[in-house]
Amino acid sequence: MSLKYVEEYRDGALAKEIVKKIKAVSQKSLRLMEVCGTHTNSIFRHGIRSVLPENITLLSGPGCPVCVTAQKDIDAFVEFSRLDDVIVTTFGDLIRVPGSSSTLGKEKASGADVRIVYSLFDAVQIAKENKDKEVVFCAVGFETTIPTIAAGILGAISENLENFSIYSANKLTPPALAALMDTPGVVIDGFILPGHVSVITGTNAYRDTFEKYQIPSVISGFEPVDILNAVLMLIEQNEKGAPSLENAYPRAVSDTGNTKAQAIMAQVFELCDASWRGIGNIPSSGMTLKKEYQRFNAAQKFKMDMPDVPEPAGCACGKILMGLKTPLECGLYKKKCTPMTPVGPCMVSNEGACAAFYKYN
């Protein structure tokens, strides 16, 4: 396996050059938000905040799929694991996320059949090997994950699998950006747009949001040189007062994106309203299975409809996701809420702002 295209974007000397440029150009106090959990993780892991001038604040937006998953969806995942003859398959990050009364991890320890998978195809395979059981997949994730879920559903059809279903808590990025901009009190001077998501959606997916709000927006890769470069571009746009939508990740992202992935997504899923943790309902920001694929909808199949529940008292995850608070301003942070005893999801996932603050600061 070659690390080509990674090492050159971790080049210390090149990164230091960009930092120098940033310091030379930057005058205004700016709040720049990354909306991808992988960016959050990378920013902390490479110590990017520590090399930026003080007038540049990086905010972690609603880009960690686990963090934006509503409490009632987590409750549904837990509830599935309590059913007899059901195998719950999930990405690892979800295991420790607390629902109202339990976590998938705790249910597993009590004997529930909860299995960590790396992709939906693993879940489909488990369904094939366990025809006497029902296999439910907890579908969270953005545009990067949704096409593979769609492909998995088509795979299940071609295998004639009837014991497989998904609970879709999938979400789309551009509607969340618009919702943020419409939220009173939210101050954002630029978006570092997600690289992985954009590989699928293409630059064009952000054009409407950009036109409407005229907010500096730059698509970025995940290595330090990528991120610093995107930060520099956002600073330059702000300093010049000339917002634009730019692609700083052209080695992976095109204007139109991966049309094949988009097509398969559109074949299996359709838009729906979705509940985002902390933000609430955002119209047309979720993806639900189309009518002809409803037999794979676990919520339908098991008549699972969990009630809306308030988020844990004192948990600031929602405000943190919108850049209204930093983890340090949450009363639970490092006290009641730690990676060992998380209260909110931002403390669980590797890509959550609170977990990153806790781990790297």
Partner 1 sequence: MSEEKVLLDHGSGGKVSHSMFSELILPLFKNDELSKQDDGAVLDFNSDLNQNSGGGLLAFSTDSYVVDPIFFPGGNIGDLAVNGTINDISMCGAQPKVISVGLIIEEGLLISDLRTILETMADCAKKAGVKIVTGDTKVVPKGKADKIFINTSGIGIIPPGVNVSGSNAKPGDKVIISGTIADHGIAVLTTREGLEFDSDIQTDSAPLNKMVSSILNCGADVHVLRDPTRGGLGTTLNEIAEQSGVGIKMYEPAIPVRGAVQGCCELLGFDPLYIANEGKLICFVPEKDAQKVLEVIKADEYGKDAVIIGEVQEADSGKVILETAIGGERLVDMLAGEQLPRIC
132: alpha, beta or left? (left if phi > 0; alpha if psi -120 to 50)? alpha
Least distance (Å) from partner 1 to the CB of residue 112?
Answer: 17
Q: Which two tokens stand for residue 336?
A: 């009641």
| Residue 40 C-alpha from the chain's centroid | 10
Please say whether the beta carbons of 244 and 237 come within 8 A: yes
DSSP state of 67: T
Looking at the Cβ atoms of 97 and 180, the one nearer to partner 1 is 97
Least distance (Å) from partner 1 to the CB of residue 120?
Answer: 11
Q: Dihedral, CA atoms, 281, 285, 290, 295, nearest 10 degrees?
A: -50
Q: Where in the chain does DSSP place strands (E)?
A: 30-34, 56-60, 86-90, 113-116, 134-139, 164-168, 190-193, 217-219, 245-247, 269-276, 280-289
Site map (CB under 8 A) of partner 1, residues 2-41, x = contact:
xx--x---xxx--xx--x-----------------xx--x
Of the residues 60, 350, 353, 354, which one makes contact with partner 1 according to CB under 8 A: 350
Q: Which of residues 39-98 bind partner 1 (CB under 8 A)?
A: 41, 44-51, 65-66, 91-96
Least distance (Å) from partner 1 to the CB of residue 281?
Answer: 23
Q: Which residues pair with 280 in a beta bridge?
A: 276
Least distance (Å) from partner 1 to the CB of residue 328?
Answer: 14
Site map (CB under 8 A) of partner 1, residues 190-209, x = contact:
------x-------------
Report the C-alpha gap between 145 and 295 in whole angstroms.
Answer: 20
Of the residues 25, 57, 115, 116, which one makes contact with partner 1 according to CB under 8 A: 116
Q: Which of residues 308-347 bind partner 1 (CB under 8 A)?
A: 338-340
Binding site for partner 1 (CB under 8 A): 1-3, 6, 10-12, 15-16, 19, 37-38, 41, 44-51, 65-66, 91-96, 116, 118, 140-142, 144-145, 196, 224-225, 228, 338-340, 349-351, 358-361
